[in-house]
Amino acid sequence: MPASQSRARARDRNNVLNRAEFLSLNQPPKGAPEPRSSARKASGPSAQPPPAGEGARERRQSQQLPEEDCMQLNPSFKGIAFNSLLAIDICMSKRLGVCAGRAASWASARSMVKLIGITGHGIPWIGGTILCLVKSSTLAGQEVLMNLLLALLLDIMTVAGVQKLIKRRGPYETSPSLLDYLTMDVYAFPAGHASRAAMVSKFFLSHLVLAVPLRVLLVLWAFCVGLSRVMIGRHHVTDVLSGFVIGYLQFRLVELVWMPSSTCQMLISAW
């Protein structure tokens, strides 16, 4: 017995970790939680082992944590590309928002730019279409106006639904106007004025006989309406581009469900 004790003391003296400069390595850091084994020993025989379900859950979490850390440290290429495009979109929108506030560089032209945007609003277009429909006396004119009214109503409902679903804010903190609240055009994505301008211009180009200068002016008007919404800080560039695409798709849908003259006359008589 004494021989075994002397051998143990000699082994402790020869252990490098028992030297003074390495004693701190054997001591746990301050404030560190007590190991589970020691806590289980201190609790005595009355302590019960954790349930099997909790142990399995802890093992699954320990296996999942490294993967989550890797995903955060190494994001996917799609995520990097999306964030880069989003940053470019925000930067361009803020640079083009030259009429966004009173302190902006083009603040004096804000009223004129807003007036250009109002030409693409839904309320004036719906009111003007109904007025022309009442004044029209030809079957062909009533047919075109009824389908145009259908397209305008479809545009308002589509834009309001998508905006309510996405809820994207504009690049600047600008409050919507009263007309925007009436047409539920409150959020930024997509731009309702841009979708309406694209749909109306394409509708007129397809169903009206216009000279070449008028066709060019119609396309320029749709472009200016979309640009004006970016200049006053209500929409991002991608909001306007998406609005143009949605407006074209709405025109194609109206062309597919085009109401004939008989249906239009029935709706007019019922109204």
Could you tell me the pTM of the whole model? 0.68
The answer as to whether 217 is a domain residue is yes
pLDDT grade for 148, boundaries at 50, 70 and 90: very high
The answer as to whether 48 is a domain residue is no
The answer as to whether 97 is a domain residue is no
For residue 258, the model assigns a pLDDT of 93
Q: State how far the Cα of 265 lies from the Cα of 271, in Å rounded to an integer.
A: 10
Q: State how far the Cα of 49 lies from the Cα of 22, in Å rounded to an integer.
A: 35
Report the number of distinct structural domains present in the chain: 1
One-letter amino acid at 31 equals G
Q: Is the pLDDT of residue 28 over 80?
A: no
For residue 18, the model assigns a pLDDT of 58
For residue 69, the model assigns a pLDDT of 46
For residue 45, the model assigns a pLDDT of 47
Q: Which of 121, 193, 207, 236 is catalytic?
A: 193
Please count the CA atoms within 13 angstroms of the CA of 101 that sit on its side-chain side: 8
Close Cβ partners of 145 (under 8 Å, ≥ 6 residues apart): 129, 132, 133, 136
The answer as to whether 164 is a domain residue is yes
pLDDT in tens, 151-174: 999 999 999 999 999 888 888 887
For residue 54, the model assigns a pLDDT of 59
The answer as to whether 61 is a domain residue is no
Higher-pLDDT residue of 76 and 90 is 90
Instruction: Report whether 244 contacts 194 (CB < 8 A).
Output: yes
For residue 71, the model assigns a pLDDT of 46
Instruction: Report whether 208 contacts 177 (CB < 8 A).
Output: no
Output the average pLDDT for the chain.
79
Q: Is the pLDDT of residue 39 over 90?
A: no
Chain Cα centroid distance, residue 201:
27
pLDDT in tens, 43-77: 444 445 555 555 556 565 555 544 444 445 456 77
The strand ranges marked E within 47-129 are none
Instruction: Report whether 158 contacts 242 (CB < 8 A).
Output: no
For residue 67, the model assigns a pLDDT of 45
CA distances from 138 to 6, 68, 135, 267, 270 (A): 119, 67, 10, 15, 18
Q: Which of 121, 207, 235, 236 is catalytic?
A: 235
How are the residues of the chain apportioned to helix, strand and coil, as percentages rounded to the nearest 5?
75, 0, 25
The answer as to whether 70 is a domain residue is no
For residue 4, the model assigns a pLDDT of 62
The strand ranges marked E within the chain are none
Residue 232 dihedral angles phi and psi, to the nearest 5°? -90, 0
The answer as to whether 215 is a domain residue is yes
Higher-pLDDT residue of 180 and 88 is 88
The answer as to whether 192 is a domain residue is yes
Q: Which of 231, 251, 232 is nearest to 243 (CA)?
A: 251
pLDDT in tens, 196-244: 999 999 999 999 888 999 999 999 999 999 999 999 888 999 999 999 9
Is residue 235 part of the annotated active site? The answer reads yes
Is residue 193 part of the annotated active site? The answer reads yes
Which residue segment(s) compose the domain that 162 sits in? 109-269
Neighbours of 221 (CB within 10 A): 16
